[in-house]
């Protein structure tokens, strides 16, 4: 009982701290009407044609598209060929294993061409209890974890508000944000989610595109230099002196020119022999790669170059190069696209005593906080 009273008191303080009253233009905005009632997020776990097993410690109930129960028991398996209409799976303890990985909430299966989509319908706060430790080490300071919780919640609501896909809101991979199910949860990361429950960042009355990455290497970068599109006001070049203890703050890699040419031929089969490679930069980061070859010229955005050579090899676009014989030596800083919150920077700020609000205001300039 005492624990409940203390938690209630903390939540009341949080409501006063963030403020419950959103700006008027946000109240009237259609995206707020859409997200204010949303407490469940739909996450694509699998797209597969293979047989998939669903199980639970307690019995699971399986319903067809007409909401008739078609199975009740410990374990149920289905392949794409078996799916004729929407299937819904629930469990009494609200934990369902999908091929041995446990997830909270319910599961919906839908057919898509020759595959089936396995979608986890889960309360957004419970979803975040998995996302936060999937994206940031759960041993890190709680203020960094709170910043991650708010960033991840905002990112999810931004997609919910703008999603054209009504079947699911996000997937469970780095294409959106990583979601590994409830086995990765931890007490401190869960507390970070609960203490910031419902809090998002807004700009112009809408949930922001709260991008984040591992390590900026000393400076973040404005969005338009990484992805094509208009400049977003709160995503700026931002000096960061807090991530120098990241294992990815500096790194080196080597790319053989034959390896580079092989990758180029996959993209442009008529490329021929390499004649030269030049880079255009913004604040030290590659924003364009121009490849001259006997078949002409191929131009890649910096982000395309990173994907072209492999994101694990080319950890960021913040690098310099030197050529030794047939090898390009790459000396880089940071890990990830470099836009928005630097996670190691958030850790560094928290270790110096800064709180989650100060962290988020550094990496997302001019934003406001809102509890929905």
Inter-helix orientation angle 2-18/187-195, to 10°: 50
Predicted local confidence at residue 102, as pLDDT: 98
pLDDT at 1: 43
Contacts of residue 176, defined as CB under 8 A and 6 or more positions apart, other chains included, come to 155, 159, 170
- Judged by phi (left if over 0) then psi (alpha if -120 to 50, else beta), residue 185 lies in beta
Domain ranges, ordered by start, for the chain:
18-39+124-243+338-371, 50-113, 251-333
Phi and psi for 247 in degrees, rounded to 5?
-65, -10
Its sign, for the CA torsion 222, 223, 226, 229, is negative
DSSP assigned state of 230: P
Q: Check: CB of residue 155 under 8 Å from CB of residue 76.
A: no
d(CA 42, CA 106): 10
* Residue listed under structure tokens 């994206």: 135
Mean pLDDT by 10 residues, the chain (372 residues): 39 35 36 64 96 95 93 96 94 94 97 96 97 97 98 96 84 96 97 97 95 98 92 97 98 91 86 90 94 91 89 94 92 97 98 98 97 90
Q: Looking at residue 19, what is its pLDDT? A: 32
Residue 219, C-beta contacts closer than 8 angstroms, at least 6 positions apart: 237, 238, 239, 240, 283, 284, 318, 338
Return the pLDDT at 273.
87
Which residue is it, tokens 């307690």?
A: 58
Are the CB atoms for 334 and 318 separated by under 8 Å?
yes
pLDDT at residue number 36: 59
DSSP 266-296: HH-TT--SEEEEEEEEETTEEEEEEEEETTE
Residue pair 89/106 in contact by the 8 Å Cβ criterion: yes
Other CB atoms within a 10 A radius of the CB of residue 330 amount to 18
Q: Which residues contact 146 (CB under 8 A, 6 or more apart)?
A: 192, 195, 196, 355, 356
What dihedral angle (degrees, nearest 10) is formed by the CA atoms of 248, 249, 250, 251? Answer: 10
* pTM score of the predicted model: 0.87
pLDDT at 162: 82
- By CB atoms closer than 10 A (0-12, 13-18, 19+), residue 323 is exposed
């Amino acid at each position: 009982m005492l624990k409940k009273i203390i938690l209630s008191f903390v939540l009341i303080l949080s409501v006063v701290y963030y403020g419950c009253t959103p700006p008027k233009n946000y109240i009237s905005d259609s995206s707020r009407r859409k997200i204010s009632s949303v407490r469940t997020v739909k996450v694509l776990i699998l797209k597969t044609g293979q047989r998939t097993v669903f199980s639970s410690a307690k019995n699971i109930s399986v319903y067809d598209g007409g909401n008739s129960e078609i199975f009740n028991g410990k374990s149920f398996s289905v392949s794409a060929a078996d799916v004729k209409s929407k299937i819904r799976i629930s469990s009494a303890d609200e934990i369902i294993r999908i091929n041995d990985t446990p997830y909270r909430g319910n599961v919906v299966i839908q057919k898509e061409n020759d595959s089936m989509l396995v979608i986890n319908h889960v309360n957004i706060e419970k979803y975040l209890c998995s996302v936060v430790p999937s994206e940031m080490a759960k041993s890190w300071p709680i203020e960094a974890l709170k910043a991650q919780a708010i960033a991840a919640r905002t990112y999810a609501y931004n997609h919910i508000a703008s999603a054209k896909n009504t079947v699911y809101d996000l997937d469970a991979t780095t294409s959106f944000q990583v979601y590994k199910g409830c086995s990765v949860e931890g007490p401190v990361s869960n507390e970070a989610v609960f203490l910031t429950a419902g809090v998002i960042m807004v700009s112009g009355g809408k949930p922001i595109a709260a991008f984040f990455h591992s390590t900026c290497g000393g400076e973040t970068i404005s969005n338009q230099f990484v992805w094509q599109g208009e400049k977003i006001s709160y995503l700026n070049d931002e000096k960061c002196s807090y991530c120098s203890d990241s294992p990815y703050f500096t790194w080196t890699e080597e790319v053989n020119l034959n390896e580079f040419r092989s990758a180029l031929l996959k993209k442009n089969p008529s490329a021929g022999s390499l004649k030269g490679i030049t880079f255009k930069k913004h604040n030290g980061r590659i924003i364009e790669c121009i490849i001259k070859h006997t078949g002409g010229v191929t131009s890649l955005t910096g982000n395309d170059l990173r994907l072209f050579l492999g994101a694990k090899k080319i950890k960021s676009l913040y690098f310099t190069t030197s050529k030794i014989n047939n090898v390009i030596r790459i000396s880089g800083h940071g890990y990830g696209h470099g836009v928005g919150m630097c996670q190691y920077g958030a850790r560094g700020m928290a270790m110096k005593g800064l709180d989650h609000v100060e962290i988020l205001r550094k990496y997302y300039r001019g934003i406001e906080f809102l509890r929905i």
